[in-house]
Amino acid sequence: MDTIIGKDGNGAILTLTERSTNMLLMEKLKEGKRPKPLARVVWRLLLPYMGEGVKTITTDNGSEFAEHKFITERLKAQVYFADSYCSWQKGAIENANKLIRQYIQKGTDFNDISDMFIKKIQHKINTRPRKKLNFNTPLKEFYKHFY
C-alpha cells in the first residue's frame, strides 16, 4: 500500500497491489492524505477479499497510514511498516507506482484528473501482460486465485 501525491502536495491517489499477481487497486483520495478517510478507502477496497485474500499489508511510515489499527481491526489483516529508506521491502507497490507514472506525470495537479481516468489507468495496468506471470495479465492471474 502506498500513496502518490499530486502537484504541491495537493491531492493523493491510494495504490494497493497484490504481491503474487501484481493486481492493482487504486483510488483518488477526495480528502488527500488524511489518515481516517484513507483507512476507510482501504477497508472498502479490500473488503471483498477479506479473510483468505488479505493476510498482510506492507506500507511505509507515512503519516497518512496512522490509522493502521482501524485497517487491522476491520480486515483482520496485519499491517507491517517497511524500514525507512528501504523501498525494496515493498517492491511490488513501488513498481506499480512507476507504471502509474507513465500515465500521470510528476507535477500533475490531481484536481484535473477524473475518477474515470484513474479507473482506466488501473484497467490498463491490470490487463498488461507480465513476464513474471508467464505473459498472463494480473487480472487473469488474480481471479484464478480468488474466484
109, pLDDT greater than 80: yes
Angle at which helix 115-126 crosses helix 138-146, to 10 degrees, equals 80
Structural domains in the chain (count)? 1
CATH code for the domain in which residue 75 is found:
3.30.420.10
Domain span including residue 79: 2-146
Instruction: Find, among 38, 40, 39, 34, the residue nearest to 9 by Cα.
Output: 34
Q: What is the number of other CB atoms lying within 10 angstroms of the CB of residue 99?
A: 16
**Are β-strands 12-17 and 2-5 bridged in parallel, bridged antiparallel, or unpaired?**
antiparallel
pTM for the whole structure = 0.92
pLDDT on residue 8: 78
